[in-house]
């Protein structure tokens, strides 16, 4: 991928960002793991690789790079184009708002509208954040939403559940990084299997929800992510059905359930016409995350 002339002709950070944008566009990369365009991804990968502040591009644009820095940066660009690795797997980090999490190919790259809702402590659906004493993050992956839940609700003990041993390992690392081992309990379980008798004031989940047709059309970048964390049956609702069938017996009397379901709102409402789904407003709209109260869930 790398033009031999790049090693000698590219001198400044500005040069390298321009070069990366050109190469990324020429390679027709897909952007959906933290950025949505070639410029933002080129800037992020450049600043991260050079150990520069991620929010301070302008002072460094005309800084000249050492030969070793050039080689390292070109290597990162090459891997992004040739291997189609998401940027998060190249840097081993992903961001949800201002919070950084370790990630690698053992877990899906964190991206969830629930994160922004947790930053607002699920207002107005939770009136008193201090009254949340127990919470569950089902399909925790890297543990990011469990951690954000613990930060949003200071009195809550949070169970972080995932079936994947690999995901459990990554979640343990992130929980330790945030010094939350005393409040976030990581449990390997197939859905609710190992949670018998447990009840929670809040259950959140960003489960697998990609339908079979969409799985077949996923860009190469997504194929690096664990298949277990993406597809969920023909209509993308297999795991959501498990949640809806089991959640009531794991919620307290006034508990609430919050689930992200991607682009499946129409399919979900058609499958459950009698459930009073409350669709929560996010940056992208009001069709991606639903809320149900315990009293409205089926027995």
Q: Is residue 56 part of a domain?
A: yes
Mean pLDDT of the chain: 93
Task: List the single range of 99-103, 164-168, 220-224 with lowest mean pLDDT.
Answer: 220-224
Asked if 132 contacts 203 with a C-beta cutoff of 8 angstroms, the reply is no
> Residues 156, 270: one domain?
yes
Q: Are residues 67 and 178 in the same domain?
A: no
CATH number, domain with residue 163: 3.40.50.150
Are 233 and 197 found together in one domain?
yes
CA distance 69 to 75: 10
Give the model confidence (pLDDT) of 8-19 as tens digits.
Answer: 789 999 999 999
Q: What is the pLDDT of residue 153?
A: 98
Domain limit, last residue, from 91, 113, 132: 91
Query: What's the confidence (pLDDT) of residue 186?
Result: 97
Q: Domain boundary at 50, 70, 91, which?
A: 91
111 and 220 belong to one structural domain: yes
Same domain, 82 and 102: no
Residue at token pair 């609700």: 153
For the cut 80, the answer to whether the pLDDT of residue 43 exceeds it is: yes
Q: What's the average model confidence in pLDDT over 42-68?
A: 96
Band of the pLDDT at 203, cuts 50, 70, 90? very high
Residue 128 included in any domain? yes
**pLDDT band, very low/low/confident/very high, at 224 (cuts 50, 70, 90):** confident
Does residue 195 contact residue 189 with C-beta atoms inside 8 Å? yes
Domain contains 273 = yes
22 and 148 assigned to the same domain: no
Measure the CA–CA gap between 275 and 129, rounded to whole angstroms.
26
Residues 166 and 245 in one domain: yes
1 domain residue, yes or no: no
Do 27 and 110 sit in the same domain of this protein? Answer: no
Query: In this structure, are 128 and 266 located in the same domain?
Result: yes
Any idea what the CATH number is for the domain that residue 62 is in? 1.10.8
Q: What is the pairing mode between strands 134-138 and 200-205?
A: parallel
Are residues 140 and 33 both part of a single domain? no
| pLDDT of residue 234 exceeding 80 | no
The answer to the question of residue 236 being in a domain is yes
> What is the rounded average pLDDT of the residues 257-284?
93
Let me know if residue 234 belongs to a domain: yes
Judged against a pLDDT cut of 60, whether residue 297 lies above it is answered with yes
pLDDT of residue 212 exceeding 80, the answer is no
pLDDT of residue 2: 55
pLDDT in tens, 114-161: 999 999 999 999 999 999 999 999 999 999 999 999 999 999 999 999
How many domains is the chain built from? 2
- pLDDT per residue as tens digits for the range 79-101: 999 999 999 999 999 999 999 99
Does residue 4 carry a pLDDT above 80? no
- Predicted confidence at residue 285, as pLDDT, reads 82
**Domain for residue 60, yes or no?**
yes
193 and 254 housed in the same domain: yes
Which of residues 91, 119, 152 is at a domain's end?
91
For residues 223 and 176, the model is more confident at: 176
Alpha-carbon separation of residue 89 from 8, 60, 79, 209 (angstroms): 28, 25, 10, 22
Q: Decide if 233 is inside a domain.
A: yes
Q: Pick the more confident residue, 297 or 210.
A: 297
What is the rounded CA–CA span in Å between residue 21 and residue 40? 9
Whether 1 has a pLDDT exceeding 60, the answer reads no
Residues 83, 160, single domain; the answer is no
209 pLDDT exceeds 90? no
Q: Which domain range does residue 148 map to? A: 97-296
């Amino acid at each position: 991928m790398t033009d031999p002339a790049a090693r000698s002709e590219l001198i400044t950070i500005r040069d390298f960002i321009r070069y990366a944008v050109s190469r990324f566009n020429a390679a027709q990369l897909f952007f959906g793991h933290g950025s949505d365009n070639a410029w933002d991804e080129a800037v992020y990968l450049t600043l991260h690789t050079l150990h520069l502040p991620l929010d301070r591009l302008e002072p460094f644009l005309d800084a000249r790079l050492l030969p070793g820095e050039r080689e390292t940066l070109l290597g990162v660009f090459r891997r992004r184009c040739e291997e189609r690795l998401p940027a998060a797997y190249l840097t081993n980090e992903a961001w949800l708002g201002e919070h950084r999490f370790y990630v690698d190919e053992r877990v899906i790259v964190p991206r969830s509208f629930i994160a922004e809702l947790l930053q607002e402590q699920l207002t107005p659906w939770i009136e008193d954040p201090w009254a949340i004493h127990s919470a569950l993050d089902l399909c925790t992956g890297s543990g990011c939403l469990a951690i954000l839940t613990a930060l949003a609700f200071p009195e809550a003990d949070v169970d972080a559940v995932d079936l994947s041993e690999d995901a459990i390992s990554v979640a343990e690392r992130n929980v330790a990084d945030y010094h939350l081992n005393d409040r976030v309990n990581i449990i390997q379980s197939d859905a609710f299997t190992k949670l018998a008798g447990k009840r929670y004031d809040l259950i959140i989940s960003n489960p697998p929800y990609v339908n079979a047709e969409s799985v077949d059309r996923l860009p190469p970048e997504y194929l690096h992510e664990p298949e277990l964390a993406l597809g969920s049956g023909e209509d993308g609702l297999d795991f959501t059905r498990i949640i809806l069938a089991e959640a009531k017996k794991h919620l307290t009397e006034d508990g609430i359930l919050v689930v992200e379901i991607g682009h499946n709102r129409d399919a979900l409402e058609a499958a459950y016409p009698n459930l009073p789904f409350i669709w929560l407003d996010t940056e992208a709209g009001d069709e991606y995350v639903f809320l149900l109260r315990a009293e409205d869930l089926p027995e």
